[in-house]
Amino acid sequence: MTRTDYGRLVEEKLKNGKVRVRAGVLTATGRLREEKTWECEKLDDELQRKFRNNSEVRITL
């Protein structure tokens, strides 16, 4: 990871009522370095605050 890398979180609401979250680390040019995906019943309070009314959030690392 370098200082120019950044994180991205993407929230997707599924038809079964669950939420899928994809978290990735990208380079400054947008090349994906690492990605993890998980499903949950609902987002915890911290993720809810980060997403607010957005489905995608960029995070400075």
Q: pLDDT per residue over 25-57, tens digit each? A: 999 999 999 999 999 999 999 999 999 989 999
User: How high is the pLDDT of residue 18?
Assistant: 97
pTM of the model as a whole: 0.82
User: How high is the pLDDT of residue 58?
Assistant: 94
Q: How many Å from the N-terminal Cα to the C-terminal Cα in the chain? A: 9
User: How high is the pLDDT of residue 2?
Assistant: 67
